[in-house]
């Protein structure tokens, strides 16, 4: 069964790059432009198997989104992968504690992104 990945990033270029890499590896993707939109989509959908999110976004940043998502019992097992620059270890640390699976440093390697996605969605 095709797995669906939600990509949350305020940069359409990054979303496009991530989506392209995942689609080529056989994933279906859906996109959100900020944390707030991402949160709404996660809550409203039952088909999202994994989330890839940026850390710095307007309206609601990645950390806040992860904390809000993971606070809900129904999302406890939803894997979330962060895309980040080597800038904010404190933020990443908190996100990990909140329940994020891990992170990939930007500019990311498509192969690694796909490997992580496959691992997290068990495909």
Q: Which residues bind other proteins (CB under 8 A)?
A: 11, 54-56, 58, 81, 85-89, 92-93, 96, 101-106, 109, 112, 115-116, 119-120
| CA 99 – CA 97 distance, rounded (Å) | 5
CB of 44 to other proteins, least distance (A): 26
Cα 8 to chain centroid distance, Å, stands at 6
Least Å distance, CB 69 to other proteins, is 16
Q: How far is the CB of 23 from other proteins (least distance, A)?
A: 19
Return phi, psi of residue 51, to 5°: -125, 135
4 vs 121, which CB is nearer to other proteins?
Answer: 121
Cite the beta strand spans of the chain per DSSP E. 4-8, 28-32, 48-54, 80-84, 102-105
């Amino acid at each position: 069964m095709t797995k669906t990945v939600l990509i949350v990033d305020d940069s359409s270029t990054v979303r496009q790059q991530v989506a392209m890499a995942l689609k080529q590896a056989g994933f279906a993707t859906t996109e959100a432009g900020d944390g707030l939109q991402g949160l709404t989509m996660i809550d409203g959908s039952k088909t999202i198997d994994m989330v890839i999110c940026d850390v710095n976004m307007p309206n609601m940043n990645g950390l806040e989104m992860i904390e809000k998502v993971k606070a809900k019992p129904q999302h406890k097992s939803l894997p979330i992968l962060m895309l980040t620059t080597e800038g904010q270890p404190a933020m990443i640390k908190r996100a990990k504690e909140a329940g994020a699976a891990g992170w990939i440093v930007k500019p990311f390697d498509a192969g690694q992104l796909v490997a992580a996605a496959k691992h997290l969605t068990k495909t």
